[in-house]
Structure 1
Amino acid sequence: MNQFRKTLIGAAAAALAATGALAETELTVYTAIEAEDLPRYAETFNKSHPDITVNWVRDSTGVITAKLLAEKDNPQADVVWGLAATSLLLLKSEGMLEPYAPAGVDELDPKFVDKDNPPAWVGMDAWVAAVCVNTIESEKLGLDMPSSWKDLTDPQYEGHVIMPNPASSGTGFLDVSSWLQIFGEEEGWAYMDALHENIARYTHSGSAPCKMAASGEIPIGISFAFRGAKSKAAGGPIEIVVPSEGVGWDMEASAIVAGTAHPEAAQKLIDFTVTKEASEMYNVGYAVVAYPGVAKPVEHFPEGLLDAMIDNDFEFAANNRARILEEWQSRYGSKSDPQ
């Protein structure tokens, strides 16, 4: 195509856009990504696709998962971008995802890609459990620095620990499902019974416990390492503890919702989520990303965390989600924050 023709086409497109004749597609995107990260993701995507508007619907992992399941027969979302892989495995089992192999998917670390061909979902990054301890408040109360999950059941911590509700928080669910894997079912529930005695409350946000520990509202918050690193970088007087038994983790992943009215635009968005550029953005807050060779050290990310990540059984977590949450609610829901 010669330069004159290119110029004509560009001018025509500009004219159509100016008159509103150039079609613009709006995608409804459900997400559990941290709210402060959403604008830069959309802005970067729109540099290549200015004709596609991303309308975010953002909430915690459990809320978004429940919303998608409730809308199964009448989907309202076009794309899910940044939801726990365990949730996407559940949606996949319900036939709610549209398989698609995005351009460049072969460049990703295989553990971040659904095993089916074409894959039903693709991963972005991983987030890992950790414990945020306010050193100033702990010292005031004479609390020892915990080093393990089981340390947190010590009576000295009664009323001084908070953690996320697994029904509403992906972080809370990865904690509970990982404890059942680390300790086994019987001992895992016994551990949570003992921990419950020390829990002041269960929040509906995975990041809230660490934020509250950093602000001094509570001495100890069970959260995730990324939030701890951000809080510490912002000046929070916290120590990020990696429990010695190992830590649970999950990955943020994305998928096209089956039945979308905008499949081509949805595919373009999923194509973007697996690019090197996107992984570079994920690495701003996550030390583990899907695109190999991209990850750079995250300030204040605790040493030894990656080695402490358990061999997480995502299929166990997804297949037993409803049973686990029902049991958890019957045992511990009385201390949960109101919705």
Structure 2
Amino acid sequence: MKQKSSAIIIFLSAAVLLFNLCGCARRDSQRVVIYSCLESFRNQDMIEQLQKDLPHISVNVQSLSTGKIASKLKAEGTKSEGDIIIGLDTAYSESLKDYLEPLNGYDDSLYLDEFKIPGREYAIWERYGGCIVINEALLAEKGLPEPACYEDLLKPEYKNLIVMPDPKSTGTGYLFLENMVNFMGEDEAFDYLDQLVENIIFFTASGSGPVNLLIQGEAAIGLGLTFTVVQEINNGMPFKIIYFDEGSPYNTSSFAMLRDRDNPKDVAAVFSYLYNHFIYRDKALFSPEPIFKNQTITIPNYPQNIVYGDMKDINDIKHKENLLKRWRY
């Protein structure tokens, strides 16, 4: 009898543990969960502003890569723990729009026409552009001129001095690839990359990798994001931003609410704050490239009047998948 009682106790304990573990996976109706692809310092600023301006709402910000968020939402749909997504590549938002709450009640009149979303399932969070960044001190030390065009990057004197993000693992790398395909042609772009790889040190796994290697003096030329380079220039690094004639390649990220939330009022309150207030702060402080009418860039040393490249098909997931299948480096 004692053995039977012990077995019952063990069984009940296991059942309680299983119930608790299952409960951990359920959405918490007492807090708002934000899945964010933004950099850690931008997430921290968002948390601080939410705590200051919406202290009555508990908000949990989870930092995830854009690919990770897309995979989670594709698998979980509206059952996802996340209530709001922010900084997600727009191509992914477009592919996931059936899970997103329409934003028909939100005014989009301040957006540039090209950044208004027809179905209103999500809104553009930012435009981030790419540039060629050079370490002027290192090039001068080696007695080399700065490159003036993509063709220059193939010159043998730049061997083992160039670094580029990997398009398979970074949005930064992909925006350069997409731009090359658009102005060269697809086959011609991969022919060009077959030659460029001879001068590449390696392809970095993160979008900030090229800038970090320039900081360390391990590379002289990088393909990177303009706002990341400007931060380092303002920190005193001897960097110079170059735009080739084809213009700055760019992409956009977006933000949205998921459908069917357990606490829709709190989720809407947080999203409204991000939409109507915080986005302007984030643009002014961190990612200033224009998505709004009459938007000005006030960050020191940030390029003005940027000419952007041809980014046709940047939001086409199928097109992206096909290009990445051809990536062999």
| TM-score, scaled to structure 1 | 0.80
Higher mean C-alpha deviation, range 285-294 or range 124-133: 285-294
Q: Which residue of 2 aligns with 1:320?
A: 319
| 1:63–1:168 Cα contact (<8 Å) kept | no
**Cα deviation, residue 107, structure 1:** 3.1
Structure 2 CA distance, aligned partners of 1:159 and 1:260? 51
Give 1:267's aligned amino acid.
A
Q: Which residue of 2 aligns with 1:12?
A: none
Higher mean C-alpha deviation, range 294-303 or range 158-167: 294-303
| 1:233–1:299 Cα contact (<8 Å) kept | yes
Structure 2 CA distance, aligned partners of 1:262 and 1:325? 39
SS in 2 for 1:274: helix
Gap runs ≥5 in structure 2: 1-27
Q: Which residue of 2 aligns with 1:263?
A: 264
Give 2:246's aligned amino acid.
E
For residue 42 of structure 2, the aligned residue among 33, 37, 43 is 37
Q: Which residue of 2 aligns with 1:86?
A: 91
Q: Provide closer, same or farther for how the CA distance between residues 160 and 244 of structure 1 changes in structure 2, counting only shifts above 3 A.
A: same
SS in 2 for 1:182: helix
Structure 2 CA distance, aligned partners of 1:70 and 1:326? 22
Structure 2 CA distance, aligned partners of 1:319 and 1:261? 33
Q: Provide closer, same or farther for how the CA distance between residues 24 and 62 of structure 1 changes in structure 2, counting only shifts above 3 A.
A: closer
Structure 2 CA distance, aligned partners of 1:149 and 1:260? 48
Give 2:50's aligned amino acid.
F
**Cα deviation, residue 151, structure 1:** 1.9
Structure 1 CA distance, aligned partners of 2:78 and 2:106? 29
| 1:279–1:294 Cα contact (<8 Å) kept | no
| 2:211–2:228 Cα contact (<8 Å) kept | yes
| 1:29–1:57 Cα contact (<8 Å) kept | yes
Name the Cα RMSD after superposition: 2.5
Structure 1 CA distance, aligned partners of 2:291 and 2:96? 21
Structure 1 CA distance, aligned partners of 2:319 and 2:211? 27
Structure 2 CA distance, aligned partners of 1:144 and 1:301? 23
Q: Which residue of 1 aligns with 2:55?
A: 50
Structure 2 CA distance, aligned partners of 1:109 and 1:303? 17
Structure 2 CA distance, aligned partners of 1:59 and 1:41? 15
Q: Which residue of 2 aligns with 1:241?
A: 242
| 2:183–2:310 Cα contact (<8 Å) kept | no
Structure 1 CA distance, aligned partners of 2:252 and 2:233? 22
Structure 2 CA distance, aligned partners of 1:277 and 1:31? 14
**Cα deviation, residue 223, structure 1:** 0.6
Structure 1 CA distance, aligned partners of 2:209 and 2:160? 16
Q: Deviations over 1:71-110 (max 9, x none)?
A: 4485232211112222222323xx3333223533333333
Structure 2 CA distance, aligned partners of 1:165 and 1:71? 28
Structure 2 CA distance, aligned partners of 1:174 and 1:273? 26
Paired residues in the alignment total 302
| TM-score, scaled to structure 2 | 0.82
Structure 2 CA distance, aligned partners of 1:133 and 1:125? 25
Instruction: Point out the structure with max Rg over C-alpha.
Output: 2
Q: Which residue of 2 aligns with 1:121?
A: 122
Within 5 A, what are the aligned runs for 1:69-84? 69-72=74-77, 75-84=80-89
| 1:60–1:204 Cα contact (<8 Å) kept | no
Q: Provide closer, same or farther for how the CA distance between residues 310 and 109 of structure 1 changes in structure 2, counting only shifts above 3 A.
A: same
Q: Which residue of 1 aligns with 2:160?
A: 159
Q: Which residue of 1 aligns with 2:114?
A: 111
Q: Is 1:301 matched with 2:302?
A: yes
| 1:60–1:168 Cα contact (<8 Å) kept | no
Q: Deviations over 1:279-319 (max 9, x none)?
A: 13322122324343342332222355x22x02422466433
**Cα deviation, residue 236, structure 1:** 0.7
Structure 2 CA distance, aligned partners of 1:149 and 1:317? 25
**Cα deviation, residue 221, structure 1:** 1.6
Within 5 A, what are the aligned runs for 1:76-225? 76-92=81-97, 95-116=98-119, 119-225=120-226
Q: Which residue of 1 aligns with 2:4?
A: none
Q: Which residue of 1 aligns with 2:23?
A: none
Q: Is 1:288 matched with 2:289?
A: yes
Higher mean C-alpha deviation, range 45-54 or range 76-85: 45-54
Gap runs ≥5 in structure 1: 1-22, 333-339
Give 2:150's aligned amino acid.
W
| 2:314–2:320 Cα contact (<8 Å) kept | no
| 1:86–1:314 Cα contact (<8 Å) kept | no
Higher mean C-alpha deviation, range 76-85 or range 276-285: 276-285
Structure 1 CA distance, aligned partners of 2:136 and 2:314? 37
Q: Provide closer, same or farther for how the CA distance between residues 71 and 277 of structure 1 changes in structure 2, counting only shifts above 3 A.
A: closer
